[in-house]
Chain A
């Protein structure tokens, strides 16, 4: 058996679909953020896999993953700061309860 690209892309695709499912169904803001992390992570896997299998001499995919990890960390930190602030104002963290700014 030869482990080709497909064998890495399929688990990453399943991971992305889990992220989509969680993003739609979850109500807790932190759980939504967790689903978002799953999606970002699966895309990172794809970058590394394409780099390794199609362009083994280059490092583009690896650097893209590196920067994506850094940006994901920044984004998560800011999102959690916002969530904690929302919790401080309204004592709730459920997206259906936070309706103060709803038109």
Chain B
């Protein structure tokens, strides 16, 4: 049995998640879309905190909300007039988009809800301590992640070089 406070926190987070993501794709001002994206990323971080993954929530805030959204805002300010509305959608386009999204929602939602009786597990386990995360990240045994860690460091280096090469002035 969940406590009332926990349910209230859940409802607030879920509402923020849904509303902000809907607004992020329907608003016609591009800078507002980036702001709504920021809030839905914050709601995701709150969801991670609620699930007791504190490190994950901190990473989500630092990388997504702190890094990616700032990149978005910079590139929006560089490439468009932020006050402008985007052009009105052609109704055909909107119908296609709605059809795709609703079909996806119907299929996946039906398959989830029809199996609701199997998904009765409740959240157990506690927040993984930082020491455990560090040992898992640096180990090379079963369920340890040294190789992906090194691979992603090479990927990020390649990304830095690629970004500089692509975006530099010729």
Interface residues of chain A, those whose CB is within 8 Å of chain B, are: 1-22, 24-28, 30-31, 33-35, 37-38, 41, 44-45, 48-49, 52-54, 56-60, 62-63, 65-67, 69-74, 76-78, 80-85, 87, 93
Residues of B within 8 A of A81 (CB): 162-163, 166-167
CB <8 Å contact, B59 and A69: yes
Cα of A21 to Cα of B121 in the assembled complex, Å: 31
**Size class of the contact patch on chain B:** 35 or more
Known: A34-B24, A76-B68, A85-B166. A16 touches B104 (CB 8 A): yes
Interface residues of chain B, those whose CB is within 8 Å of chain A, are: 1-2, 6-7, 10, 14, 17-18, 21-22, 24-25, 30, 33-34, 37, 40-41, 44, 47-48, 51-53, 55-56, 59-60, 63-64, 67-68, 71-72, 75-76, 78-80, 86-87, 89, 93-94, 96-98, 100-102, 104-105, 108-109, 112-113, 116, 119-125, 128, 132-133, 136-137, 143, 145, 148, 152, 155-156, 159, 162-163, 166-167
CB <8 Å contact, A18 and B24: yes
Cα of A102 to Cα of B97 in the assembled complex, Å: 23
* Chain A min CB distance to B155 (Å): 6
CB <8 Å contact, A83 and B41: no
Cα of A31 to Cα of B112 in the assembled complex, Å: 29
Q: Which of A4, A17, A49, A93 contacts B122 (CB 8 A)?
A: A4
Residues of A within 8 A of B156 (CB): 70, 74
Cα of A21 to Cα of B94 in the assembled complex, Å: 8
Instruction: Tell me the dominant secondary structure on chain A's binding face.
Output: helix
Residues of B within 8 A of A77 (CB): 71, 159, 163
* Chain A min CB distance to B67 (Å): 6
Residues of A within 8 A of B145 (CB): 63, 67
CB <8 Å contact, B119 and A5: yes
Known: A21-B97, A21-B98, A71-B155. A3 touches B119 (CB 8 A): no
* Chain B min CB distance to A73 (Å): 5
CB <8 Å contact, A84 and B75: yes
User: Would you give 13 A-B contacts (Cβ < 8 Å), ordered by A?
Assistant: A6-B116, A14-B21, A17-B105, A37-B41, A37-B68, A38-B37, A49-B51, A52-B53, A56-B124, A74-B156, A76-B72, A82-B166, A84-B167
CB <8 Å contact, A19 and B120: no
* Chain A min CB distance to B38 (Å): 10
